[in-house]
Amino acid sequence: MIGTTAPGCVLAFDDERGFAAALAGALQVPLALIERHRFPDGELRLRLPATLPRSVVLLRSLHQPNEKLVELLIAAPAARELGAQRVVLVCPYLAYMRQDIAFSPGEAVSQRHVAGLLARHFDAVLTVDPHLHRIAALQDVMPGCRAVSMSAAALVGAWVAQRVKRPLLLGPDEESAQWVREAARACSPVPDHAWCVKQRHGDHDVQVTLPPGLRCEGRAVVLIDDMASTGRTLMAAARLALAAGAATVDAAVTHALFTGDAMEALKATGVGQVWSTNCVPHASNSISVVPLLADAVLQC
């Protein structure tokens, strides 16, 4: 961290106070909270500190994103009016990254539009494991803004290595391969690792097959992925691993979205432990990304 410069404060909303306090502590800067008031018609009033330092980190994770995006569109220009000349968005979970092409005529490419919107309001955007599939880098969809994408896969892999003896790391689909590889490299010795083949027929209908020749008999399988939303892909992979003779199946993910009954359904398939980072608040949170983000802020 030699030669790096900390911002003047971390600015955050009250529902992320715990994460924000940890980030401010790691950066050794004050924490300032944004007050929110909801009017009867649903509109929001935000109140920021009356004066702000020249450089501000604004923390907002974008799970359940729609209202939070409106908050950012109000808070960012307001921060500049109150003295901030540089506003950096720390966004542990960046929503709307999955739709990166139009799958049918007239369909909006939400990745490009939401990323572009944030790029126009912030000097830099820092995020963890955005779901990038058909683009090489987050910078490609955030012109004019410094976009920093980092991965928690190494943290996840190190966590698993400390708790599971000789794990078999298994991704639930081909898209998870990048996270599986990085998680495996964080273990010593590097464990066996592979990923399934997936066909998605709908939001709740996926078909998964194990890679040819993979032996699960008697193994401690740990499913690795960047996010769990409905959990259906993880469930399909867990069932396959258990049917193939796995002794145990656990799961470790970066973003624990777990909508509806996803967590209960995942457990019902036979998955034992579920570990996640604190990018998205959830009972499974076990791995902190605060040090990762603090280092990125200091280097930004």
Report the pLDDT value the prediction gives residue 133, as an integer from 0 to 100.
75
For the chain, domains (ranges, CATH) are 9-151+288-299 (3.40.50.2020), 153-278 (3.40.50.2020)
Q: What single-letter amino acid sits at 101? A: I
Report the pLDDT value the prediction gives residue 200, as an integer from 0 to 100.
66
Provide the whole-model pTM.
0.92
C-alpha span between 115 and 236 (Å, rounded): 31
* DSSP codes joined into one string, 199-225: EEEETTEEEEEPPTT---TT-EEEEEE
Cβ(60)–Cβ(91) under 8 Å?
Answer: yes
SS3 102: coil
SS3 2: coil
Stretch (H or E) spanning 138 = none
C-alpha span between 291 and 295 (Å, rounded): 6
Q: pLDDT of the chain along its 300 residues, tens only?
A: 444 678 999 999 999 999 999 999 999 999 999 999 999 999 999 999 999 999 999 999 999 999 999 999 999 999 999 999 999 999 999 999 987 788 889 999 899 999 999 999 999 999 999 988 777 789 898 988 999 999 999 999 999 999 999 999 999 999 899 999 999 999 989 999 999 987 766 665 667 899 999 999 999 999 999 999 999 999 999 999 999 999 999 999 999 999 999 999 999 999 999 999 999 999 999 999 999 999 999 998
Cβ(221)–Cβ(250) under 8 Å?
Answer: yes
Kindly compute the dihedral angle of the four CA atoms of residues 175, 177, 179, 180, in this order, to the nearest 10 degrees. Answer: 140
How many other β-carbons are positioned within 10 Å of the β-carbon of residue 181? Answer: 17
C-alpha span between 78 and 49 (Å, rounded): 10
Stretch (H or E) spanning 81 = helix 65-81
| 68 counts as catalytic | no
Sequence-distant (≥ 6) Cβ neighbours of residue 112 within 8 angstroms: 100, 141
Q: Using alpha carbons, list the distances in angstroms from residue 92 to 33, 151, 293.
A: 18, 10, 8
Question: Dihedrals φ, ψ of 226, to 5°?
Answer: -80, -30
Q: Using alpha carbons, list the distances in angstroms from residue 120 to 73, 124, 147, 285.
A: 10, 10, 12, 32
Catalytic residue among 68, 165, 198, 267: 198
